[in-house]
Amino acid sequence: MSTIGFIGAGLIGATVARLAVQGGHNVVLSNSREPRTLLPLAAALGPQARAASRGEAAEAADIVVVTIPLGALTDVPVEPLKGKTVIDTSNYYWQRDGHIDVLDARSITTSQILADHLPESHVVKAFNNINFKHLGLLARPAGDPERTPLVIAGDDAAAKEQVTAFLDSIGYDALDAGALAEGWRFDNGEPAYGKPYLGPDADPTNILAMGNGQAATRAELEAALAAATR
Ligand SMILES: NC(=O)c1ccc[n+]([C@@H]2O[C@H](COP(=O)([O-])OP(=O)(O)OC[C@H]3O[C@@H](n4cnc5c(N)ncnc54)[C@H](OP(=O)(O)O)[C@@H]3O)[C@@H](O)[C@H]2O)c1
């Protein structure tokens, strides 16, 4: 059992937190406001969950999940995350996030922006390419034929091992896409982004009608990563 800290507890943060609690972990939740604003979510998650400040969540955690808008990444505390594994879920939508030159130019990836902000932490990109609803529904125990891999990328082998073990504990295998710089392969717009987990009940004409999702196979995800074109 580990303690998982959350900087951001919205759609994807709350979903990962719920899976983490179900996987036997403690979770420490934070957002941009007073911890009391997260008391309802912490109560819903039960005694393994508590609300805190960003700094406290970072301090208490073995692994921290950063799951906030790109424009807020500079608010992520640096000092308490030194030496720690940090999972980044972020995506770039210029329509939502405003134009960010280095991302428009595709010279670096979103997770590299966080890694530059946290030079002494070990950033692993994960969860960005699956819709929160599918993530919540597709978790399966090890050995289940319907268990699906999630794609990860990162520069530190030990951190990727830690994230792989965490994913295992919450119902997912891991598929290593390589270094953090390779993270663009499962970014928004690429074949591995969302589509492998879209089930037959998804309405392709309506972004909000995501359906219940489906397990993607390792081969499908590997083919999607290889087909990325940037
Ligand atoms: N939604 C999905 O299905 C999905 C899937 C994969 C990846 N992602 C990506 O993950 C990221 C988060 O997405 P989301 O859908 O979970 O967003 P969301 O529902 O809007 O939640 C954002 C969270 O970030 C918090 N936050 C904002 N500014 C903060 C700050 N300065 N410090 C700490 N917390 C802050 C918000 O807290 P307040 O309420 O206090 O502002 C909220 O808890 C985005 O980059 C998104 O593209 C989303």
Q: What separation in Å is there between the alpha carbon of 203 and the centre of ligand 1? A: 24
Q: Does 48 sit in the ligand 1 pocket, CB within 6 Å?
A: no
Contact, 127 vs 89, CB < 8 A?
yes
Identity of residue 207: I
Q: Does 90 sit in the ligand 1 pocket, CB within 6 Å?
A: yes
For residue 156, give the nearest of 125, 129, 127, 184 by alpha carbon. 125
What total of structural domains would you count in the chain? 1
Q: Which protein residue's CA is at the shortest distance from atom 44 of ligand 1?
A: 90
For residue 19, give the nearest of 54, 45, 51, 56 by alpha carbon. 45
Q: What number does the ligand 1 atom closest to the CA of 188 have?
A: 47
Q: What separation in Å is there between the alpha carbon of 68 and the centre of ligand 1? A: 4
* CATH number of domain containing 55: 3.40.50.720
Question: What pLDDT is stored for residue 209 in this prediction?
Answer: 86
Q: What is the mean pLDDT of residues 204-219?
A: 88
Give yes or no for residue 188 having a pLDDT over 90: yes
Q: Which residue range is the domain that position 92 belongs to?
A: 3-226
Mean confidence (pLDDT) of the chain: 96
Site to substitute for ligand 1 among 6, 11, 78, most atoms within 8 A of C-beta: 11
Cα–Cα distance measured from residue 151 to residue 140, given in angstroms and rounded to the nearest whole number: 16
Give me the phi and psi of 183, to 5 degrees please. Answer: -60, -25
Contact, 51 vs 39, CB < 8 A?
yes
This prediction's pTM: 0.97
Cα–Cα distance measured from residue 103 to residue 93, given in angstroms and rounded to the nearest whole number: 10
Q: What separation in Å is there between the alpha carbon of 29 and the centre of ligand 1? A: 12
Q: Per-residue confidence at 131, pLDDT binned at 50, 70, 90?
A: very high
Q: What separation in Å is there between the alpha carbon of 228 and the centre of ligand 1? A: 25
Q: Which protein residue's CA is at the shortest distance from atom 41 of ligand 1?
A: 32
The string of pLDDT tens digits covering residues 27-43 is 999 999 999 999 999 99
Question: What pLDDT is stored for residue 4 in this prediction?
Answer: 98
Q: Would you call 212 exposed, middle or buried from its count of C-beta atoms within 10 A (0-12, 13-18, 19+)? A: middle
Q: Please give the full DSSP string across the chain, using - where no structure is assigned.
A: --EEEEE--SHHHHHHHHHHHHTT-EEEEE-SS-GGGGHHHHHHH-TTEEE--HHHHHHH-SEEEE-S-GGGGGGS-SGGGTT-EEEE-----HHHH---HHHHTTSS-HHHHHHHH-TTSEEEE-STTS-HHHHHHH---TT-TT--EEEEEES-HHHHHHHHHHHHHTT-EEEE--SGGGGGGGSTTSTTSSGGG--TT--TT-TT--TT--PPPHHHHHHHHHT---
